[in-house]
Amino acid sequence: MGASLLQVFRDLDRDTKERLADISSPLLLSLAALSIAHEKGSADRLSAEHIVACLETAGIAVMKKSISRALSRSGNRISTATGLEGDVLYRLMIKGERKIAAHLGGGGLSVIRFEGNKPRTGRMRLGEILSSLKGMIRICDPYYGVRTLDSLDYVPKSCAVRFLTVKTNESARQISGALKDFKREKPNVEFRIAADPSQLHDRYVLTPDQIILVGHGLKDIGGKESFLVQIDTHLAKGIITRTINDFDLRWNAGTAL
């Protein structure tokens, strides 16, 4: 852990530090530290010792033993890996983000930054998000390709998926076989070409709980710097309802791919 990450915690605004000070649960403090480290310091994984040091720098005292015990019982809110020195490194997962969002003032809004020139990392991060979705999923993405299918593989089979698109830049030979194989194994995912291509521009994912605005197409995540914004229904219910209605009109007018 570099000094720059400690500086991130040292420079947190007073309101955020007060919010941290009000958290008594070692687990929530750990999730908060992991969230801040990722969002503000671009640090994906921290050890229990790192978490203690970061929180202490922000003016929050907590014991390493308490952090380790709490994280060992955190379930699928975090993932673990072994560091070069044999220590356990923790990474915040989607359910962990949801758990801590309200305590950090997220209130149903979260922003994730994808770094440029890190396509594999970007696709893995996107996969974590897609794998947590539930219910009917509507996806608008003007361009599709083989890597689109790779991303959609993460969506649970229990979800019905409607993918509305316009065209691909890949050859028919490249995409047709991959699409055929994908449909055979993922009958829950439907594809349609929009009747009016000019109506599709922005990329988004709609679920019963939220709208996810995606800066790049599913096949291009991580190629360039981009952002993903998750907005819960209670913050934008009217907009989400209208967007679903517009999507369904375009879907019904579309042609099966």
4: pLDDT strictly greater than 80: yes
> What percent of the chain clears pLDDT 70, i.e. is strictly above it?
97
Give the confidence band of 125 by pLDDT, cuts at 50, 70, 90: confident
* pLDDT of the residue at 128: 84
The tokens for 11 are 């420079």
Class of domain 3-104: mainly alpha
Question: How many Cα atoms within 13 Å fall on the side-chain side of residue 169?
Answer: 7
The tokens for 80 are 């673990």
Q: Name which of 240, 5, 248, 244 is nearest 108 in CA terms.
A: 240
The one-letter amino acid code at 241 reads: T
Tell me which of 82 and 115 has the higher pLDDT.
82
Mean pLDDT of all residues in 12-20: 85
197-231 pLDDT per residue, tens: 998 888 999 998 889 999 888 888 878 888 889 88
110: pLDDT strictly greater than 80: no
**Strand-pair partners of 227:** 113
DSSP single-letter state for residue 117: T
Tell me which of 190 and 14 has the higher pLDDT.
190
Pairing of strands 255-256, 109-114: unpaired
Question: How many Cα atoms within 13 Å fall on the side-chain side of residue 216?
Answer: 22
103: pLDDT strictly greater than 80: no
149: pLDDT strictly greater than 80: yes
What does the domain layout of the chain look like in residue ranges? 3-104, 109-256
* pLDDT of the residue at 154: 92
* pLDDT of the residue at 143: 93
Mean pLDDT of all residues in 122-133: 86
* pLDDT of the residue at 211: 93
46-56 pLDDT per residue, tens: 999 999 999 99
Distance CA 30, CA 190 (A): 40
* pLDDT of the residue at 1: 58
* pLDDT of the residue at 70: 95
* pLDDT of the residue at 186: 95
Average pLDDT of the chain, as a whole number: 90
What superfamily in CATH does domain 109-256 come from? Answer: Endonuclease Chain A (3.30.870.10)
106: pLDDT strictly greater than 60: no
84: pLDDT strictly greater than 90: no
> What percent of the chain clears pLDDT 90, i.e. is strictly above it?
60
Phi, psi of 178 (to 5 degrees): -65, -40
Mean pLDDT of all residues in 105-130: 81
Residue 193 three-state SS: strand
* pLDDT of the residue at 209: 82
Phi, psi of 8 (to 5 degrees): -60, -45
